[in-house]
Structure 1
Amino acid sequence: MTLRLEVLTQGPALERLLEPLADLRIAVFRDWPYLYDGSREYEAWYLAKFAAADGAVLVAAFDGDALVGGSTGLPMSAEHSAFSAPFEERGYATERLFYGAETILLPAYRGRGLYRRFFQRREAHARSLGRFEHLTFCGVVRPDDHPLRPADAVPLDPVWQRFGYTRMAGVTTTFAWKDIDQDHKTDKPMQFWIKPLASELGDG
């Protein structure tokens, strides 16, 4: 199995990967904790804003020609308002924030250090643009007693902390999607994490 990473920015090469990226999001986010019952229609709406953003990046992992993982990011000022509003309300200059939209990888390729490399390449891209002070992202918050929580579920909080990110107490948003056990969209709470871009990825 030969894996390679490519860093793709705005343009035809990135646009050609939007459909494979949509399929990857639908597949990976169907699992815990997102439980996302995805559709191409929703993906087209969600990814259109990402692809149009000046400064957007996709760190793509390929096995041969197949997209098996990816990490995306874009300027916060170009994101959906659900993500930028909590920062604007707290006086952050959103034009100085880079937003890490997602980092996803098919299960068969996990445990090989790709997750760390995704973060490293995404942060390097944000630094290279020279106008961002922090990188932030958010993750869904599920109740401990959720009926679809796997018995072996492990939170990623310790990993993000090792990578140098800090949980932003009280800085949250909501975003709506349809869960696999529901018949309509519902708002989900999302917790933000942040890191100064002057910092390198932790070694832990």
Structure 2
Amino acid sequence: MTIEIRILKGDELEAALPDLAKLRIKIFRDWPYLYDGTMEYEQAYLSRYAQTEGAVIVGAYDGDTLVGAATGEPLEQEVIQFRGPFEDKGLDPREIFYLAEALLDPAYRGQGIGHLFYDEREAHAKALGFSTAAFCAVIRPDNHPLKPDNYSPLDDFWRKRGYDKLAGGIVHFPWQDVGEDVESEKPMQVWIRSL
């Protein structure tokens, strides 16, 4: 299968938001996020990308179908839950590009698309003058009843790309888990690297 990687900004970015919302709901439903999302929430949450200067979506397309996407925006434009842990550590959000979601349909994994997602977002961040890139990954207990037996965390992948955990850098962000009736805050570990 041939996958086309497209860098989406401006009107193209805005046009891709409904497909990104569907992809987020589908992929984040799985471990470790277990997100029980709705299109209504997604449309409100993702609309900020269309309004943020410097935001980008790196889309992976099979024909006209979005099968994967990775997003990013200047950390200074992110919600306080994401900015706060950096500020608490004395880091300047104006120098950091935040790599938000990275999603890929399981049928397309293992082809190097994940690396392209990071390559393209890091190149975008550098072109905008950012010196640092960072992202967050949800923290789940090892004994969680929904953890698959064959789950392999991405820590080694991220370390090979030069990222490391920011000591004490924990973001708390709410969402509704599969099987829950209400949202609850989830801890997320900050990963960071110099560009």
TM-score class, shorter: over 0.9
Aligned equivalent of 2:94? 95
**Secondary structure at 2:116's aligned position in 1?**
helix
Aligned equivalent of 1:6? 6
Counterpart CA distance in 2 for 1:16 and 1:27 is 19
Identity %, equivalent residues: 50
Contact 1:50 1:79 in 2 (8 A): no
Counterpart CA distance in 2 for 1:39 and 1:50 is 18
RMSD: 0.8
Matched to 2:176, the amino acid is: K
Aligned equivalent of 1:167? 165
Q: Deviations over 1:125-145 (max 9, x none)?
A: 000112x11000000000001
Counterpart CA distance in 1 for 2:165 and 2:88 is 18
Query: In the alignment, does 2:153 pair up with 1:155?
Result: yes
Q: Deviations over 1:24-66 (max 9, x none)?
A: 0000000000000010111112111222110001110000000
Counterpart CA distance in 1 for 2:160 and 2:181 is 38
> How high is the TM-score relative to the length of structure 1?
0.94
List 4+ stretches of structure 1 deviating above 3 A: none
Aligned equivalent of 1:104? 103
Q: How many residues align?
A: 195
Structure 1 residue runs without a partner (length 5+): 198-204
Contact 2:14 2:49 in 1 (8 A): no
Matched to 1:196, the amino acid is: S
> How high is the TM-score relative to the length of structure 2?
0.98
Matches within 5 A, 1:94-133: 94-130=93-129, 132-133=130-131
